Amino acid sequence: MATGKGDLVKKIAQKTGSTQKQAAEFMDAFIESVEENLAKKEKVQLVGFGTFMTRKRESREGRNPRTGEKMKIPATTVPVFKPGKGLRDRVEKK
């Protein structure tokens, strides 16, 4: 079962004793800050949790799934999340 943004906002509000509106503003500010840093190709490292970063994918040759025709897939930059040891250990225990 997936947890959505609304569920996370409720949990943050409960854990911090803030309102859901304040928690939603915090969550939006956090996401926006991560996006801004990634757009500038900067890492966002949260020790124990993980690192948000970008990775460049080189151009490559692929195939159109409908026609089987060869096509060139252009190079692109993609966001990547690398979990930290604390997060990996906590998930492994469950």
- For 32-64, the pLDDT digits (tens) are 999 999 999 999 999 999 999 999 999 999 999
At 3 the pLDDT is 86
pLDDT of residue 91: 92
How far apart are the C-alpha atoms of 84 and 54, rounded to whole Å? Answer: 16
Residue 18 confidence (pLDDT): 96
Is 5 in contact with 28 (CB distance < 8 Å)? no
pLDDT on residue 94: 63
Rounded Cα distance, 64 and 36, in Å: 33
Q: Which amino acid is at 23?
A: A
Query: Tokens representing 84?
Result: 């930290």
Residue range of the domain that includes 60: 42-94
Say yes or no: 46 and 90 in one domain: yes
pTM above 0.85, yes or no: no
Pairing type for strands 76-83 and 70-73 reads unpaired
Question: How many domains in the chain?
Answer: 2
Residue 55: predicted pLDDT: 97
Pair (25, 53) in one structural domain: no
Are residues 4 and 18 both part of a single domain?
A: yes
